[in-house]
């Protein structure tokens, strides 16, 4: 019995939702990806801690997957275990008049609705971003001049050894599409957010405005992983790609969106190889013609 099978059986004994050879195309917004050896939904901190300790004990590889909205899983899949936070990790509570605690597995959409219902402003920018709260904090997601760092007070996590911890303030090291969690190998379990009192109608109006902008400018009708490239200093990735005549460029089933050149879409049965080859072609062309080197925002697993 290999280490992944040991973890699979252990998680099953904890009454987790466990699956073998799970297609990752079912769990990514790109609708692309091969099989994961094991896929486990973990519903509370106690079970997560036990699984991580067991992984450490058996030298078993694992990775956390949120809503799969900023990733591309390779066609040969993922060796080892994929963990998904569910159950208690999706709960949201109002701590006081302006403070929310949110489990890392909750979606940004659910969090935005909760904040609006409580009359709290500061998260409108996140309405329409299709990720989980944990994933959004991990990469300091942002849009329309807003970022998670402006709302996050502290982040709770668990280490690979099963130790519980918390980081707050400047120690979170938020930057453009990054945070301390990019490098510390901890799993984000929950987030405390500090917001401001606002008018629910005005909050809804702002959310509606941002959603209208998304639907009119972004190719939401096709599977994608959002913006593929980070914004280069002094310019915009989409503008550079369009300037190079790459809008609509096809490689296999992957295409540079005709609606927004910063997006690559799964036009028709695209493979991960199609997407990666298209990314390389875009990077090479933009570099040669403009001198800008486009860095991937997309995480390739």
Catalytic site residues?
A: 177, 227, 297
Distance, CA of 147 to CA of 125 (rounded, Å): 8
Tokens of 206: 């702002």
DSSP category for residue 259: S
CA distances from 200 to 118, 185, 205, 220 (A): 8, 38, 9, 26
In sequence order, the 6+-apart residues with CB closer than 8 A to the CB of 163 are: none
Per the listing, tokens 């605690």 go with 101
Per the listing, tokens 């790609």 go with 241
Distance, CA of 49 to CA of 19 (rounded, Å): 19
Tokens of 187: 């799993």
């Amino acid at each position: 019995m290999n280490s992944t099978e040991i973890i699979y059986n252990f998680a099953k004994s904890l009454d987790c939702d466990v699956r073998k050879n799970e297609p990752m195309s079912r769990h990514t917004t790109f609708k692309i990806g091969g099989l994961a050896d094991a896929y486990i939904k973990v519903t509370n901190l106690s079970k997560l801690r036990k699984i991580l300790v067991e992984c450490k004990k058996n030298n078993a590889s694992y990775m956390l997957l949120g809503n799969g909205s900023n990733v591309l899983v390779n066609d040969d899949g993922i060796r080892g275990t994929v963990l998904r936070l569910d159950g208690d990790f999706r709960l949201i509570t109002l701590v006081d008049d302006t403070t929310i605690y949110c489990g890392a597995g909750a979606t940004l959409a659910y969090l935005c609705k909760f904040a609006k219902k409580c009359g709290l402003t500061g998260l409108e920018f996140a309405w329409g971003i299709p990720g989980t709260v944990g994933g959004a904090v991990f990469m300091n997601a942002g849009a329309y001049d807003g970022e998670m760092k402006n709302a996050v007070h502290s982040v709770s996590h668990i280490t690979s050894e099963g130790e519980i911890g918390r980081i707050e303030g400047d120690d979170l090291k938020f930057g453009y599409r990054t945070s301390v969690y990019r490098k510390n190998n901890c799993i984000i379990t929950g987030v405390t957010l500090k917001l401001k009192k606002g008018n629910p109608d005005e909050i809804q109006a702002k959310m509606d405005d941002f959603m209208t902008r998304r639907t009119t400018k972004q190719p939401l009708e096709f599977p994608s992983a959002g913006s593929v490239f980070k914004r280069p200093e002094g310019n915009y990735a989409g503008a550079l790609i369009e300037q190079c005549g790459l809008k609509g460029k096809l490689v296999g089933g992957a295409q540079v969106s005709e609606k927004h050149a910063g997006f690559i879409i799964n036009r028709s049965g695209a493979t991960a190889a199609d997407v990666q080859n298209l990314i390389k072609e875009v990077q090479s062309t933009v570099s040669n013609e403009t001198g800008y080197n486009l860095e991937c925002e997309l995480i390739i697993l």
